[in-house]
Copies of this chain bind each other. A is one copy, B any other.
Amino acid sequence: MARWQPDARGRLEAAAFELFRERGFEQTTVADIAARAGLDKRTFYRLFGDKREALFSGSGHLEEVLVREVTETDAGPFEAVVAAFRRVAEEIFADRLELVRARQTVIDSSPELQERELRKTGSLVAAVTAALRARGLDETTATLATESGATVFRVAYARWVAPDSDASLSDLIAEVAAELRAITSALPETP
């Protein structure tokens, strides 16, 4: 048989997730993770840039789906972004509430992981903005639409993950988007 067990990357991700839940992120060393996966510390660093990355491997896929959806529609920019997030909600998140909650608990327990999550959504926003720009929109419009859509998603996501919630993420996104419209369309004060 093979000299190495298959799917080293997957085993490391799983080991990291387990250990982070068992002992917490800070109390887990990369050597621990590698040991549980039956690998060496150095191998971990060949597959992941750093310890945090082991928890964020899915974000590439997310970006892919979002960019595709935003590119293949001709709705207005904000509507397009919101629709894309709803699609992501259905395709990727819908059946995984418990997993997502566990993962979020880990992230919430460590500032380092929170920073990394912020950066991941940041680069995701950049990718979507670029996709909108490719549709001919100007920089400011593209950025505002994407950032606002992401805000809507974040708020909806927070509600969805909250312990007592049971609405679907996609529905929550639609609700929050409506609320955002209401808030921003109030008349501005006159200078």
A interface, CB within 8 angstroms of B: 75-79, 82-83, 111, 114-116, 118-119, 122, 140-141, 143-145, 147-148, 151-152, 154-155, 159, 176-181, 183-186, 188-189
Residue of B nearest to A181 (CB): B184
Most chain B C-beta atoms within 10 Å of own C-beta, residue among A115, A183, A188: A183
Query: Whole-angstrom distance between the alpha carbons of A78 and B144 in the complex?
Result: 15
A144 touches B183 (CB 8 A): yes
For A148, give its contact among B114, B159, B180 (CB under 8 Å).
B180
Most chain B C-beta atoms within 10 Å of own C-beta, residue among A82, A143, A154, A188: A188
A188 touches B177 (CB 8 A): yes
B151 touches A147 (CB 8 A): yes
Q: List 23 A-B contacts (CB under 8 A).
A: A75-B189, A77-B183, A78-B183, A78-B186, A79-B188, A82-B188, A83-B189, A111-B119, A114-B122, A118-B118, A140-B179, A141-B183, A144-B179, A144-B183, A147-B151, A147-B155, A148-B183, A148-B184, A177-B188, A178-B188, A180-B184, A181-B184, A184-B185
